[in-house]
Structure 1
């Protein structure tokens, strides 16, 4: 069968970067195939996706769009590669800019970025309008447009959100809308960067079903992931990337165990039920000093909490009660849109509740999208911004070393991989040693090393008598690292697994 898309990427380097971000990457996609590129933070998978989708190199693309003469500026990205998309061939020599039809390329090779908000147009107010945006630009008839939008919304479980404003969506809902907007384009190749991040089980199932439908229609899918999850485990082929190079190749005939072992060796997260059987490392008898002493002073108390956003017809949270003791880690679980993020933002003082009370010690919040709390031009300046504690330089250096960020102190946070951006944002929070650590989807985009660092910081808070409250769709992480799970839903909230303290965090080793 003739390949739908073939790419030979000899090398790609960002402007002024000391070494290539990609080397020797071969990708061949047949119609209806599913290929995964997996790797830890900085492995090059997101860069590879952006190159395949024509988003990189930046200066080459810009010059082609302007219609200027071929050539590279001194600060341009450098790409040496050969692409074949159907009957079209595009060669990058590293010394010139080929003339390409970028708009036509993007219609055939579409990409969901890691932060799904970056794909949404920003010029459409409601979910219905966002899903119709591409169809409008293509001149689709009104009847066909309405039918397609309705079918796509039904497939992804978005019917009840069609009239909702985009800026009122949860992170998982944003991702589903972006995936739907991509799917209506019917591209030949669809590149999905962390497609399941922040999605509840229903959302994950809906994306998997949509992927199967697109495959059946001949679309080739490329999944970029820092974890081997159920979607990755069912691909036709996979490559494990490490520092821009292919560390291992895998085919369906090799079996899921081989992929799990190769990925784990490179620092990729492997879902527990996809790993080979092993002895659990969770120490269920572990207790913190505060728990042993029997805390009578809760770190956090919510009573009758109700939250409603301006112009919203229904409250995001209604009558929510919660008490979190010192030395306790609690996980909030629930479907997208259940109000988990709203609860955390209200505790942090970012939202004023409609009713109810919040009694909390000093709190620190890690936002769901870490870029929302990063604004300085270097990592060191970012973490130290506003810090008034003693021995500022020493304290900043210590927290950066603990989180494995000692080698990027002079880097711009926006230029770091998503996993490290989240760790930088976490460093900003934990440096101030809050009594209550609030974590909103903390494991999204984190590789195995990042997760280990996150768990260590959680444990530091608990061991000094603080508390941790996290919202997550990662039920495995919650079961292992939270004492208690509280489920939020449309009708009620309840505690799973009985009494407080039934589950203890896994001790991650020396801090």
Structure 2
């Protein structure tokens, strides 16, 4: 492979195949990353984006039969994989050169530190940075990302968007010459997304090479030096209008709920919080959701959208006021969590969706129907974690839909979904509404919200509401 002058990383990948797989996941990919460059890799779920990111970050191949042919040049050292090659990789040394923000940002955080500030200090401590310098660096970066108020918070009690901001901050503090970012703006409100974009511009100005893995040509990807479309594991140059599936065409809006429809879910003067927290997360919430109605919860990260959904599902008790499930008796509430991994634990998709159902009865009989509705029929005997992120989220959704909930709760449901997945999600929502159920969902996806919700309940952090 010819070496580009001043490149901080080069990849000449002939093929990559997971152990036991029948086909290559990646093939014929060449990348050369210059200092301060931004390379966008755009593709639908299942195209191989996350696999490519893991190869660049030295996480693949593993030593259990993964098959990689090709060459990576990193920090002037050429590492060859394939027949006759004996690549020796130092994972710690590689991580100093290439940092990766995974699609599930929680996986980047240690989970063993009590506060966000301590979490951010972990990598600096391991690098031997003096304590005074650590504090200054963390405080400066927290200001840039607008997360100063999170520094004393329990890192295990953050919203999904806050987790992503903290993980990105920890990654930036590592000062690796190359950063691979898998959907870095997912789950972020507009203000946080703007702060992340500004931070990434600053990192580029200091010479950091960025690789953006994304489903669509958003504002961040539009500023890339090079945009590559990844389809079936192979790349080609792409322009914004040529990236298939980047902007899904929305199906027709569902009909409006009829006047006087039955009340299914009610919040009245509701205050919600967590044990050990001095202040409530949500205060004075008044919200009603009726049969045939789809309601969106919108607001900045930390406004309490996920907390409201947990309370609706009966996972949190209000500190004041009421949360009333009018769907019972005879109805039920189902919750799709923001992270599908919190809901998936069986060996096959079919077993996952059927888990806990009577072996005979109407719900068990619905398993094939629900799988077909969500485009999962062909994956019924596949392990959920062998599926791409979009399909995993649909599997988690299937585990909820199969129980025919009267009220369907969805936490950031479009996160990681490709265009086909979004269309199937909207179709599933339509079926719930058509049979007289209701849907309450949280999102930062303004386009999905406008196309799907009958009305929007906008929230703000409880502290801001009292100010």
TM-score with structure 2 setting the length: 0.94
1:262 to 242, 254, 263: 242
Q: Is the 8 A contact 2:80 2:86 kept in 1?
A: no
Instruction: Spell out the pairing of 1:63-462 with structure 2 (5 A cutoff).
Output: 75-94=64-83, 96-246=85-235, 248-250=236-238, 258-259=239-240, 261-263=241-243, 265=244, 267-269=245-247, 283=252, 287=255, 291-292=257-258, 294-360=259-325, 361=327, 362-388=332-358, 390-391=361-362, 394-462=365-433
By how many angstroms is 1:232 displaced?
1.1
By how many angstroms is 1:416 displaced?
1.6
**Which residue of structure 2 aligns with residue 30 of structure 1?**
34
The 1:24–1:357 alpha-carbon spacing in structure 2 relative to 1, beyond 3 Å, is same
User: Which runs of 5 or more structure 1 residues have no equivalent in the other structure?
Assistant: 60-74, 251-257, 271-279, 495-511
User: Which runs of 5 or more structure 2 residues have no equivalent in the other structure?
Assistant: none
Q: Is the 8 A contact 1:226 1:268 kept in 2?
A: yes
By how many angstroms is 1:181 displaced?
0.3
Q: Is the 8 A contact 2:363 2:402 kept in 1?
A: no
By how many angstroms is 1:493 displaced?
10
By how many angstroms is 1:296 displaced?
4.0
Secondary structure, in 3 states, of the residue corresponding to 2:156? helix
Deviates more, 1:294-303 or 1:448-457: 294-303
Give the whole-Å Cα distance in 1 for the aligned partners of 2:409 and 2:363.
Answer: 23
Q: Is the 8 A contact 1:295 1:326 kept in 2?
A: no
Give the whole-Å Cα distance in 1 for the aligned partners of 2:161 and 2:305.
Answer: 11
Give the whole-Å Cα distance in 2 for the aligned partners of 1:391 and 1:475.
Answer: 36
Q: Is the 8 A contact 1:303 1:322 kept in 2?
A: yes
Q: CA offsets, 1:293-316, max 9 Å, x none?
A: x33421211111111201001111
Give the whole-Å Cα distance in 1 for the aligned partners of 2:270 and 2:83.
Answer: 58
By how many angstroms is 1:453 displaced?
0.4
Give the whole-Å Cα distance in 2 for the aligned partners of 1:6 and 1:327.
Answer: 54
Q: Is the 8 A contact 1:3 1:31 kept in 2?
A: yes
2:16 is aligned with 1:7: no
Q: CA offsets, 1:84-133, max 9 Å, x none?
A: 11311100015554112221111100000110010001221111011111
Deviates more, 1:213-222 or 1:387-396: 387-396
Give the whole-Å Cα distance in 2 for the aligned partners of 1:321 and 1:244.
Answer: 48
By how many angstroms is 1:491 displaced?
5.0
Instruction: Spell out the pairing of 1:36-75 with structure 2 (5 A cutoff).
Output: 36-59=40-63, 75=64
By how many angstroms is 1:358 displaced?
1.6
Q: Is the 8 A contact 1:226 1:269 kept in 2?
A: no
Secondary structure, in 3 states, of the residue corresponding to 2:141? helix
Q: Is the 8 A contact 1:78 1:94 kept in 2?
A: no
Give the whole-Å Cα distance in 1 for the aligned partners of 2:84 and 2:345.
Answer: 34
The 1:465–1:95 alpha-carbon spacing in structure 2 relative to 1, beyond 3 Å, is farther
**Which residue of structure 1 aligns with residue 461 of structure 2?**
490
